[in-house]
Amino acid sequence: MAMPLASETSHTVRKTLEFVQHHRLAKGDRLPSERELSERFGVARSSVREALAVLDAMRITERKPKSGIFLRNAVEDGGLDALVLQADLGLAFDPQVTRDVTEARIICEGRALQLACQRRSDADLAKLHGLLDSYAALIEAGGNPADADVDFHLAMVAASQNRILVRTLTPLMLMSRRWRQRYFQSAEICRRSLDDHRAFVAAIEARDEAAVATLVRRHVQTAAADVRALAEQGGAPPTETA
Amino acid sequence: MAMPLASETSHTVRKTLEFVQHHRLAKGDRLPSERELSERFGVARSSVREALAVLDAMRITERKPKSGIFLRNAVEDGGLDALVLQADLGLAFDPQVTRDVTEARIICEGRALQLACQRRSDADLAKLHGLLDSYAALIEAGGNPADADVDFHLAMVAASQNRILVRTLTPLMLMSRRWRQRYFQSAEICRRSLDDHRAFVAAIEARDEAAVATLVRRHVQTAAADVRALAEQGGAPPTETA
DNA sequence: CCTACCAATCTGGTCAGACCAGATCAAGCA
DNA sequence: TGCTTGATCTGGTCTGACCAGATTGGTAGG
């Protein structure tokens, strides 16, 4: 799951965002016309329009009829989906954003898991145990658990019985998915992650809200720190221009 | 602000969502083909494709090449933007959703405003005072403060210096915007809202985290209760089929 | 009667070109 | 200089076409 983009439309969305970033366009700036973009990107105008419809829906661009296409927000000020898109596309990120994401995750997930302690059903617990097992198996097999990690965290949040919290946390999880894909290449880190997950399930099973709150803070902050360390030693962010 | 939809594309998005709702389509169900939808809606296939691109980006639909269009999620399980869309379109809502939104808002906004107490700058404070004044003036003039209310709350959250929290709360606020538009027709409620806003600013100014937390809980819960009461006395939800 | 295979059909993906009407802007007139 | 006006540009929408893979129904073979 979690790969929203498909073929030419996504290709054009990517190209457009890269164009914006490359040309340092700011809020209110005007983009080239649809016709020029289609020529520049080597796709039909209809494809450009589909991409722009998506960017419009994300409040990144604004198409003023008979006038032009304008940047409504810097990409980083658009909706959360825009940030997920940016992450999926491997575009550069403002470091402040990653710090803010970490903080927001701790707030939302922390409280969500406390609610999960209160409200979890036996079915929720069974599902978590199942996910835990497949998570362990995946790591054992040497796979990259980035996606499974997202699923696991969202399943825990779902035990709060609040679907809106799940939707709220989804983009926050997906945004960090790419970063963690590198991060999880370390077997040591995978093992530690698995241990944390076990602790999470145990705490939710015991309805131990205090333990869960502490776990969330430690788990998310540690992960963020590790990713940051990786980024620094790995040099510049992955702006991989296609 | 906060009116994302424009012309034919939005029209088709709306029609499509209405189709899904009317036909009680569930996750995994298949929609009619693009060609059939275009005929049914009386628009060109290209317009249908733009609308589908948007719905795809919102993870509501999934277009499987050469196969068909499938419902990835019930509308209510899509991204938060999808819910905002649904609210803007005036489509019916599951009551559980409104309860979940309230809870999520209390969690996120409560913590965000505590952070705002710690981190607010003088500029933040000045901006809040400014918004407060125009809010008061708007109510005095008999205008509907629904949009101004959204702006005010987001400005408070922005004082937390965490842009991701702002982005997270934005859809939660926008979603309830419609409900509150009716709610704010009562002068009494407007006055109470203004008093609350004053209290918010005072608490943030005094960096009183405890007061802010209490205020958020009371403010949001009261508003939700009032809206619920309105909905019950007002009869069925506004499913206004165009 | 059931299975296996194949061709007509359907589907999304993409492209090309056309028309409209309002916005824009520069040239030309007053 | 200032204002009008018309050529040009822009997004919005439609029509129609081709491609290649997915689907499916019917037929031939077991």
DSSP A53-97: HHHHHTTSEEEETTTEEEE-S-GGGS-HHHHHHHHHTT----HHH
Do the domain assignments include residue A153?
A: yes
Q: Are A63 and A56 in contact (CB under 8 A)?
A: yes
Q: What is the mean pLDDT of residues A226-241?
A: 59
A58 touches chain B (CB under 8 A): yes
Do the domain assignments include residue A2?
A: no
Q: Are residues A206 and A114 in the same domain?
A: yes
Q: Which of B57, B81, B105 is the C-terminal boundary of a domain? A: B81
Q: Are residues A131 and A226 in the same domain?
A: yes
Q: What residue type is assigned to position B207 of the chain?
A: R
Structure tokens at A157: 């949040």
Structure tokens at A110: 């922390």
Integer-rounded Cα radius of gyration of chain B: 20
Give the CA-trace dihedral at B80, B83, B89, B90, to 10 degrees.
Answer: -140
Report CA-CA distances (Å) from B15 to B7, B11, B21, B33, B156. 12, 6, 10, 14, 36
Domain residue limits at B108: 92-233
DSSP string for residues in A148-210: HHHHHHHHHHHTTT-HHHHHHHHHHHHHHHHHHHHHTT-HHHHHHHHHHHHHHHHHHHTT-HH
Is the pLDDT confidence value at A84 over 90? Answer: no
Do the domain assignments include residue A49?
A: yes
Residues 6 or more apart in contact with residue B96 via CB below 8 angstroms: A163
Q: Give the span between the Cα atoms of B218 and A93, in whole angstroms.
A: 37
Cross-chain residue pair B76–A163, CB shorter than 8 Å: yes
Q: Are residues B175 and B99 in the same domain?
A: yes
CATH code, domain carrying B164: 1.20.120.530
For residue B75, the 8-state DSSP code is G
Q: Are residues B130 and B228 in the same domain?
A: yes
**Residue A75, pLDDT score:** 65
B11 touches chain A (CB under 8 A): no
Do the domain assignments include residue A87?
A: no
Q: Which residue has the higher pLDDT, B132 or A81?
A: B132
Which residues from A are below 8 Å from B72, CB to CB?
Answer: none
Q: Are residues B196 and B229 in the same domain?
A: yes
State the total domains in chain A: 2
Mean pLDDT of all residues in chain A?
88
A111 touches chain B (CB under 8 A): yes
Mean pLDDT of all residues in chain B?
88
Structure tokens at B104: 């999520």
Q: Are residues B27 and B74 in the same domain?
A: yes
Q: Are residues B111 and B214 in the same domain?
A: yes
Q: Give the span between the Cα atoms of B128 and A103, in whole angstroms.
A: 23
**Residue A163, pLDDT score:** 94
**Residue A234, pLDDT score:** 58
Nearest nucleic acid nucleotide to A45, CA to C1' distance: C15
3-state SS assignment for residue B119: helix
Q: Are residues A136 and A215 in the same domain?
A: yes
Q: Summarize pLDDT for B34-92 with one digit per residue, the tens.
A: 999 999 999 999 999 999 999 999 889 999 999 999 998 776 677 888 888 888 777 77
For residue A29, the 8-state DSSP code is P
Q: Which residue is nearest to nucleotide D10 (CA to C1')?
A: A66
Q: What is the mean pLDDT of residues A168-195?
A: 88
User: Which one of B52, B83, B165, B168 makes the best mutation probe of the A interface by having the most chain A beta carbons within 10 Å?
Assistant: B168
Backbone angles phi, psi at A175, to 5 degrees: -60, -35
Do the domain assignments include residue A149?
A: yes
Q: Please tell me the distance in Å from A60's CA to the nearest CA on chain B.
A: 11
Q: Summarize pLDDT for A30-39 with one digit per residue, the tens.
A: 999 999 999 9
Q: Summarize pLDDT for A147-163 with one digit per residue, the tens.
A: 899 999 999 999 999 99
Q: Are residues B62 and B174 in the same domain?
A: no
Q: Which of A81, A110, A140 is the C-terminal boundary of a domain? A: A81
Q: Summarize pLDDT for A187-232 with one digit per residue, the tens.
A: 888 999 999 999 999 999 999 999 999 999 999 998 888 878 777 7
Do the domain assignments include residue A195?
A: yes
Q: Please tell me the distance in Å from A167's CA to the nearest CA on chain B.
A: 6
| CA nearest neighbour of A220 among A161, A186, A169 | A169
Which residues from B are below 8 Å from A107, CB to CB?
Answer: 107-108, 111-112, 165
Give me the residue from A7, A100, A163 closest to B77, CB to CB.
A163
Residues 6 or more apart in contact with residue A41 via CB below 8 angstroms: A11, A12, A15, A16, A47, A48
Q: Summarize pLDDT for A26-61 with one digit per residue, the tens.
A: 999 999 999 999 999 999 999 999 999 999 998 899
What residue spans of chain B are helical by DSSP H? 7-22, 34-41, 45-57, 80-88, 95-119, 122-140, 146-158, 163-183, 187-205, 209-233
Through-space separation of residue B75 CA and nucleotide C10 C1' in angstroms = 27
Q: Are residues B139 and B194 in the same domain?
A: yes
Q: Which of B34, B53, B81 is the C-terminal boundary of a domain? A: B81
CATH code, domain carrying B34: 1.10.10.10
Do the domain assignments include residue B239?
A: no
Structure tokens at A171: 């983009």
Q: Are residues A227 and A119 in the same domain?
A: yes
Backbone angles phi, psi at A64, to 5 degrees: -95, 115
Do the domain assignments include residue A240?
A: no
Q: Are residues A143 and A25 in the same domain?
A: no
